[in-house]
Amino acid sequence: MVSDFQNPVAGFGVTFKAMFKKRLTEQYPEEKKPTAPRFHGRHQLNRHPDGLEKCVGCELCAWACPADAIYVEGADNTDEERYSPGERYGRVYQINYLRCILCGLCVEACPTRALTMTNEYELADRSRASLIYTKEELLAGLQDGMVDTPHAIYPGMDEQDYYRGLVTEAAPGTTRQAAVSKGETLSDQAAGNEEVQA
């Protein structure tokens, strides 16, 4: 009889004790908790100081990914259309965040430090297609002194100079080259532009 009375009182004791403790609930999304400096969030494709892309389309990140979330398709650079200082660049680069486990193995596999991870962790969206990030969404924005790709490499420099850190800004007078789609020549593109203007 006494135990029947003590059980509810003991339960209320736990409740009253918890009422005066500091609440541990985080008020997300109104108050966002800062992440650790080495937090693994959304990926970013980096650029050289003059704006050329660091990605050389080697596909090592795709091979290292345990979730098969990365798709890379490399292409060759030309003097008329150059995206990276090397022979190749990543023409198509996609990361499927429906599969990605944010482990960072792709970052470790990258030989040119083209791929890093940011602190951005809000990756939810309304459709599955929008969670497949393309190269344009992953590529780092242009900073002061950078010229958007494609453009020529710094005069007198080669690929090794870029990775040694000798190129610190775009060469004076560097301008963006006209991008030509695969199989299309510059003359074809110019003819198409004239038709649009007419």
Report whether 110 belongs to an annotated binding site: yes
User: CA torsion sign, 153 to 158 to 162 to 163?
Assistant: positive
Q: Residue 17: its pLDDT value, please?
A: 81
Give the distance from CA 169 to its chain's centroid.
22
> Would you kindly state where each structural domain of the chain is located, as residue ranges?
43-167
Report whether 165 belongs to an annotated binding site: no
Which CATH number applies to 43-167?
Answer: 3.30.70.3270
Report whether 100 belongs to an annotated binding site: yes
Report whether 74 belongs to an annotated binding site: no
| DSSP secondary structure, 108-175, as one string | HH-TTS-EEE-S------SSSGGGEE-HHHHBPPP-TT--PSS-PPPTT--HHHHHTT---SPPTT--
| Rounded CA separation 148/143 (Å) | 10
| Rounded CA separation 130/96 (Å) | 9
- Model confidence at 187: pLDDT above 50: no
Residues 65-88 have pLDDT tens digits of: 999 999 999 999 998 999 999 899
pTM: 0.76
Q: Residue for token digits 């800062």?
A: 34
Report whether 65 belongs to an annotated binding site: yes
Report whether 47 belongs to an annotated binding site: no
Separation in Å, CA 91 to CA 56, 70, 132, 135, 169? 9, 13, 16, 8, 23
Residue 143 tokens read as 């900073």
Residues 25-76 have pLDDT tens digits of: 888 888 888 889 889 999 999 999 999 999 999 999 999 999 999 999 999 9
